């Protein structure tokens, strides 16, 4: 492999937006490491991508598992010696869907959603940051959601005003705050950190009611992964447009 070829890790990459993100990055010459909860699913995904001419590797990466996170970092270090792109794509939805009964959310639901959508992102980014710092132009993309926007949730006339799910929404708000803080920490480096809203996409989580197809849902992640040196950092983006926090 050429030393200057970019390497990307995509979590939750065996289906939906994660798989499509890996495909689109691979088509642009990026080597992709696809993470999935089981090694079987990861290797099957990598095989599909390889059949399309993409350099791909599958690794077991249950993002809430510390041993998996450490093993992922060790694999990338030994195989490539650096990581150019980290796409924190893995996420879970609310078990109860959208409900205005915020006061009734169970502790277990909050812990379950935050474990994947927030704490795991912080942990895996911390694990991989030394490798990202070895890239000449590291990029970190955190898959958020417009449902994490405090500004829009507070506006009774906004399009998301009645789509309330406190566990999911607050996990994405916390993720956005992490994006802002990490971008600030890395402001004097070439690394760029951004939150991406993929849109409402036809996935298992988004359902067939969603208006966007999966290829379009991956576009924002891909654009942020391949930002030029003068691109933004510490921003909340959907298809090139900045969203309110």
Residue 49: which of 3, 89, 90, 15 has the closest Cα? Answer: 15
Topology given in CATH for the domain delimited by 7-242: Rossmann fold (3.40.50)
pLDDT tens for each residue of 120-157: 999 999 999 999 999 999 999 999 999 999 999 999 99
Name the pTM for this structure. 0.94
Instruction: Supply 130's token pair.
Output: 């030394």
Q: Low-confidence residues of the chain, pLDDT below 50? A: 1-2, 202, 211
Distance (Å, whole) CA 182 – CA 53:
34
The C-alpha atoms of residue 132 and residue 197 are separated, in whole angstroms, by 22
- Express each pLDDT in 103-124 by its tens digit: 889 999 999 999 999 999 999 9
pLDDT at 2: 47
CB contact at 8 A, 212 and 199: yes
178 included as an active-site residue: no
Check 57, 118, 168, 178 and give the catalytic one: 168
Structure token digits, residue 70: 């450490």
- Model pLDDT, residue 210: 54
3-state secondary structure 100-165: CCHHHCCHHHHHHHHHHHHHHHHHHHHHHHHHHCCCCCCEEEEECCHHHCHHHHHCCCCCCCCCCC
DSSP secondary-structure letter at 60? Answer: E
């Amino acid at each position: 492999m050429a030393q200057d070829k970019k390497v990307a890790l995509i979590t939750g990459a065996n289906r939906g937006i994660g798989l499509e993100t890996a495909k689109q990055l691979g088509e642009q010459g990026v080597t992709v490491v696809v993470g999935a909860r089981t090694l079987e699913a990861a290797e099957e995904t990598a095989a599909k991508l390889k059949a399309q001419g993409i350099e791909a590797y599958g690794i077991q990466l249950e993002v809430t598992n510390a041993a998996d996170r450490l093993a992922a970092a060790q694999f990338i270090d030994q195989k490539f010696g650096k990581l150019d792109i980290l796409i924190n794509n893995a996420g879970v939805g609310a078990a109860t869907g959208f409900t205005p009964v915020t006061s009734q959310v169970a502790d277990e639901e909050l812990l379950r959603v935050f474990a994947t959508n927030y704490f795991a992102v912080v942990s895996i980014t911390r694990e991989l940051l030394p490798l990202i710092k070895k890239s000449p132009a590291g990029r970190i993309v955190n898959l958020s959601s417009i449902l994490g926007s405090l500004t829009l949730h507070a506006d009774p006339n906004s399009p998301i005003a009645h789509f309330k799910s406190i566990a999911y929404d607050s996990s994405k708000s916390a993720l956005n705050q992490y994006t802002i803080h990490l971008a600030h920490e890395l402001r004097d480096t070439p690394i760029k950190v951004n939150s991406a809203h993929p849109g409402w996409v036809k996935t298992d989580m988004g359902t067939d009611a969603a208006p966007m197809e999966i290829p379009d849902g991956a576009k924002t992640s891909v654009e942020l992964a391949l930002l030029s040196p003068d691109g933004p950092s510490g921003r909340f983006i959907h298809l090139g447009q900045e969203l309110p926090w």
